[in-house]
Homo-oligomer: A and B are copies of this chain.
Amino acid sequence: MFLSLLQPVRMTARCVRSISSFRADDLHITLTDKPKPKPSYDNLPFGGNTSDHMFEVDYTPAMGWSRPVIRPVEPLQIHPAAKVLHYASELFEGMKCYRCVDGKIRMFRPMENLERMERSAVRAGLPPYDRFEFLKVIKKLINIDQEWVPYSDRCSMYIRPTFIATEPSLGVTQSTDAKLFVIAGPTGPYFKTSMKAIRLLADPQYVRAWPGGCGAFKMGSNYAPTVAIQAYAQREHNCQSVLWLFGDDHQMTEAGTMNFFVFWTNEAGEQELVTPPLDAGLILPGVTRKSVLELTRQWNEFKVTEEVIPMGKFIKALNEGRVKEVFGSGTASIVCPVGQILYQGQELHITDTDDIGELTQRICHDINEIHYYLKPHPWMESIDIDGDESLRTVTAN
């Protein structure tokens, strides 16, 4: 849909990038002299703990990219007129690394995230850089903070690359200046004890994304509009999250910040795993979504389809006893079973809280095996850095 806009920009980006990126070789590293105590793995809230260090690099048109630095986590200095604080010119990624059974630390499909981040940056009007150099500095950050990667086969380290517009000027235009940074922190299992199915509010009067908007990009602007609705769903309807609907036929699009899957017997009597398609620009192209599709297609045991799921079609299947499982997918939870949906006063009952579907469990199990390298897999990428000698310049604080 955005090809006419994005194609020329991306081509420009590609030409410029080779000469204008920051380089991992230029990293300046300052280590903390006050390492923080590591939190207990038992009760790690999502995104509440940052490790000791962060990555940071700035862009201005006059100077290009500044020297990239890894330094202790400290507040950023942001001008009060910076565009990120007014016009939401910001985007991010969420990725994880794991302490694998062989003792090595590996990242899960990092290039998938960094390619998506590049698409987000073009859509947000932020400047290009070389994603391979970026991956190197992220690996270096993980190396430095490797003791923050939990010694646990239930936990991981969450990594948050973030890109913000820093030009201190209130014009609603593309920002001349930008800051790229990365923070990281240990994160617990999404499900503290065992998996529990969640309850979703599906209210068609709230819409997350639309054709011609930015729903397919991981821009901050997709999230702010959702938090009050999410809080309302919890407060008024005892729903842990929101099922975002779209269109007159109330298509099921995403669940909270997760992609959305239905496993059912379709109208032709076939077993089918179905998730909404990416083509209308309504759906975030999730890395876990893609992995679930690839994994289940490899199994070759049932049909795997990307197709619109209107609420009416879903309810019909539910009433006919054809819906087996419903789950969300995302980096935080991997998969998250859906037990009930509250839709226009109707209670749609899919499963009981503790009765987790076989497919949901199997996908979770198989992806976990990959994450912790119980089963070596090309999706896992070592954090060793090629030619790292030049990245070893470490300065005490």
Chain B contacts of A75 at CB under 8 A?
Answer: 77-80
Most B C-beta atoms less than 10 A away, residue of A1, A84, A92, A160: A84
Chain B contacts of A79 at CB under 8 A?
Answer: 75-76
Closest 6 CB pairs of A and B: A47-B170, A207-B212, A88-B220, A88-B88, A87-B223, A221-B221
Pair B88/A162 contact, Cβ less than 8 Å: no
Pair B48/A224 contact, Cβ less than 8 Å: no
Chain B contacts of A90 at CB under 8 A?
Answer: 85-86, 88, 224
Chain B contacts of A226 at CB under 8 A?
Answer: 172
Assess whether A132 is interfacial by the CB under 8 Å rule.
Answer: no
Assess whether A151 is interfacial by the CB under 8 Å rule.
Answer: no
- 23 residue pairs A–B, Cβ–Cβ below 8 Å: A1-B205, A5-B206, A5-B228, A5-B229, A47-B171, A50-B80, A73-B80, A75-B78, A81-B183, A86-B90, A87-B220, A125-B227, A125-B231, A172-B226, A172-B230, A204-B212, A210-B210, A214-B224, A219-B224, A220-B221, A220-B224, A221-B221, A221-B222
**Cross-chain contact of A227 among B78, B124, B164, B229 (Cβ < 8 A):** B124
Q: Quick one: copies of this chain in the complex?
A: 2
CA distance A46 to B83 in the complex (A): 13
Q: For residue A225, which residue of chain B has the nearest CB? A: B214
Chain B contacts of A89 at CB under 8 A?
Answer: 223-224, 227
A226 to chain B, nearest CB (A): 7
**Cross-chain contact of A213 among B45, B207, B231 (Cβ < 8 A):** B207
A212 to chain B, nearest CB (A): 3
Pair A80/B183 contact, Cβ less than 8 Å: yes
Assess whether A382 is interfacial by the CB under 8 Å rule.
Answer: no
Assess whether A181 is interfacial by the CB under 8 Å rule.
Answer: yes
Besides A9-B228, A86-B223, A88-B220, 16 other CB < 8 A contacts? A46-B170, A48-B170, A75-B79, A81-B183, A85-B220, A86-B90, A89-B224, A90-B224, A124-B228, A125-B227, A172-B227, A172-B230, A172-B257, A174-B228, A206-B212, A214-B225
Assess whether A390 is interfacial by the CB under 8 Å rule.
Answer: no
Q: For residue A1, which residue of chain B has the nearest CB? A: B205
CA distance A92 to B89 in the complex (A): 14
Q: For residue A166, which residue of chain B has the nearest CB? A: B75
A102 to chain B, nearest CB (A): 29
Most B C-beta atoms less than 10 A away, residue of A170, A174, A231: A170
Pair A173/B230 contact, Cβ less than 8 Å: yes
A116 to chain B, nearest CB (A): 15
Chain B contacts of A162 at CB under 8 A?
Answer: 80, 85-86
Q: For residue A168, which residue of chain B has the nearest CB? A: B50
Chain B contacts of A232 at CB under 8 A?
Answer: 5, 9
Chain B contacts of A219 at CB under 8 A?
Answer: 88, 224-225
CA distance A331 to B88 in the complex (A): 20
Chain B contacts of A86 at CB under 8 A?
Answer: 90, 92, 160, 162, 220, 223
CA distance A173 to B223 in the complex (A): 9
A318 to chain B, nearest CB (A): 24
CA distance A89 to B227 in the complex (A): 9
Q: For residue A80, which residue of chain B has the nearest CB? A: B183
A79 to chain B, nearest CB (A): 5
A242 to chain B, nearest CB (A): 11
CA distance A183 to B8 in the complex (A): 37
**Cross-chain contact of A223 among B88, B122, B168, B169 (Cβ < 8 A):** B88
